């Protein structure tokens, strides 16, 4: 096992930590932290997986996917923060739990 394998399992564990945060945290800021941990670890995990390929065309495809994911991360983050702010203004929702009010 080389040290890149250790990093591979570390990144899987970090992705798990991000998922745990998204599932369990109840404040907006902690949710953003969890989302960031998840997206950063996933990007790094994907790039390590690209390093395991021996086919150049797969590597190019992987790089394109990483660029796409960076753009997607920015867009999701922008929409998420805008939604948080809109919800906070309309419902005075200090916690995500308050959103249950709009469930009907």
* Residues of the shown chain interacting with another protein in the complex, contacts defined by CB under 8 A: 1-10, 12-21, 23-30, 32-34, 36-37, 40-41, 43-44, 47-53, 56, 59, 62-63, 66-67, 70-71, 73-74, 77-78, 81, 84-85, 88-89, 94-95
Q: Which of 39, 31, 48 lies closest to 68 in space, CA to CA? A: 39
Return the number of the residue (21 or 104) whose C-beta is nearest another protein.
21
**Alpha-carbon gap, residue 32 to 51, rounded angstroms:** 29
Residue 92 three-state SS: coil
Counting every residue, how long is the chain? Answer: 104
Question: Nearer Cβ to another protein, position 86 or 104?
Answer: 86
């Amino acid at each position: 096992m080389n040290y890149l394998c250790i990093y591979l399992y570390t990144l899987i564990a970090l992705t798990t930590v991000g998922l745990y945060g998204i599932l369990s945290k109840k404040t907006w800021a902690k949710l953003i932290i969890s989302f960031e941990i998840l997206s950063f670890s996933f990007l790094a995990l994907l790039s390590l997986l690209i390093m395991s390929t021996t086919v150049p065309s797969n590597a190019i495809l992987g790089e394109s996917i990483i660029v796409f994911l960076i753009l997607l991360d920015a867009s999701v983050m922008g929409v998420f923060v805008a939604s948080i702010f809109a919800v906070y203004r309309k419902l005075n929702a200090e916690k995500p739990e308050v959103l249950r009010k709009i469930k009907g």
